[in-house]
Amino acid sequence: MGGMAQTFNKVALVGKYDNQAIAGSVERLAGYLADHGHEVVLAKQTAQALNLSGYMHADLTDLAAMVDVVIVLGGDGTMLSIARALAPYPVPLIGVNQGRLGFLTDITVGNMEMELSRMLAGEYDVETRILLEATLEREDGTRHECSAFNDVVVSKAGTGRLIEFEVIIDNEFVYTQRSDGLVIATPTGSTAYALSAGGPILYPTLEAIALVPICPHTLSARPIVVSSDSQVDIIIHHADDARVHFDGQKYFDLQKGDKVRIARMPHNVTLLHPKHYSYYDTLRQKLHWGKQL
């Protein structure tokens, strides 16, 4: 982490759209920033959903070109969706968590004014993180595309039956597997579903992709980490009921013969953290490392 620090005058605020509890925090922060000389722009959906007025509004993708930094209020799930939408735009993101400490939203509402005033004045660390893009290719020529900040997950849906699929990396056959599915995770997503499935924790700025089987029908199946330059193809051989999920927020149903092609997105996400931020400290707190049972 680190890099040349700059100060930020034009600031965008994006809040979780369906949470009225966020409204007070957004309004409080907007007032604080305006009182301290910052130009504040609210995402239009945030302003309308939370019934906030008195500030300039703009569509999410429009405001990315209007401001120096975007502050996201909500939780890690909110940050995932905003990061995907704004990845093509070179604007850094800061996460403020309405509840508990998050992996992506590491500033709490209680001390956000103090933390953000320092960061906007140039006291921050920088992280650059990768995203994934995936294409679902159907035998009839149909194509669907989607991106992911955490993970792309191919898994069974409601029937409970195992699915069978083939994994190809950089056009080389790797294995055929029968399992509940496969998690393809970025380092950011390595502490999400992939971790629950037994995958490794990857430091968030690594340029790598983890492939983690979900309850494989063989004890020899193990997670593997590959370069972020790799292209991963998953071909569905048998699936009575399967889906491909993107960050747990979007999905497409799968059928026999479908190919899911996953590669690194050409755009990165830039996250800003307070100077005292420590990823290892976050791991200790979130995973309860070192605590006596």
pLDDT digits (tens, 9 = 90+) for 269-284: 999 999 999 999 999 9
Do 140 and 229 have their domain in common?
A: yes
Residue 100 forms part of a structural domain: yes
CB 185 within 8 A of CB 246: no
Residue 293 forms part of a structural domain: no
DSSP the chain: ---------EEEEEE-TT-THHHHHHHHHHHHHHHTT-EEEEEHHHHHHTT--SSEEE-HHHHTTT-SEEEEEE-HHHHHHHHHHHTTS---EEEEESSS--SS--EEGGGHHHHHHHHHTT--EEEEE--EEEEEE-TTS-EEEEEESSEEEEEE-SS---EEEEEEETTEEEEEEEESEEEEE-TGGGGTHHHHTTPPP--TT--EEEEEEES-SSTT---EEEETT--EEEEEEE-SSEEEEETTTEEEEE-TT-EEEEEE-SS-EEEEE-TT--HHHHHHHHHTTT---
Domains identified in the chain, total number: 2
CB 69 within 8 A of CB 92: yes
Do 172 and 104 have their domain in common?
A: no
Do 189 and 254 have their domain in common?
A: yes
Do 145 and 240 have their domain in common?
A: yes
pLDDT at position 199, please? 97
pLDDT at position 102, please? 85
pLDDT at position 1, please? 46
pLDDT at position 236, please? 97
Residue 4 forms part of a structural domain: no
Q: Choose, from 18, 35, 76, 229, the residue flagged as catalytic.
A: 76
Residue 208 forms part of a structural domain: yes
Do 257 and 205 have their domain in common?
A: yes
> Which is it for the CA torsion 262, 266, 267, 273, positive or negative?
positive
The parts of the chain modelled with pLDDT lower than 50 are: 1-3
The pTM of the whole model exceeds 0.95: no
Cα angle 48-25-192, degrees, rounded to a multiple of 5: 95
Residue-wise pLDDT for 112-165, tens only, equals 999 999 999 999 999 999 999 999 999 999 999 999 999 999 999 877 789 999
Q: What CATH number is given to the structural domain containing 256?
A: 2.60.200.30
Do 39 and 89 have their domain in common?
A: yes
Residue 2 forms part of a structural domain: no
* pLDDT > 90: percent of the chain: 80
76 is catalytic: yes
Do 250 and 275 have their domain in common?
A: no
Do 45 and 65 have their domain in common?
A: yes
Do 119 and 39 have their domain in common?
A: yes
pLDDT at position 84, please? 96
pLDDT at position 2, please? 45
Residue 3 forms part of a structural domain: no
Do 51 and 151 have their domain in common?
A: no
Q: What CATH number is given to the structural domain containing 101?
A: 3.40.50.10330
Give the residue numbers spanning the domain of 42: 10-129+268-287
pLDDT at position 52, please? 83
pLDDT at position 4, please? 56
Q: Enter the tokens of residue 37.
A: 């000389």
Do 113 and 19 have their domain in common?
A: yes
Q: Find all residues with CB under 8 Å of 18, minimum gap 6, and list them.
A: 49
Distance CA 117, CA 68 (A): 14
pLDDT at position 293, please? 60
Do 260 and 136 have their domain in common?
A: yes
Amino acid letter, 232: V
pLDDT at position 278, please? 94
Residue 36 forms part of a structural domain: yes
The mean of the pLDDT values for the chain is 93
CB 114 within 8 A of CB 262: no
Residue 5 forms part of a structural domain: no
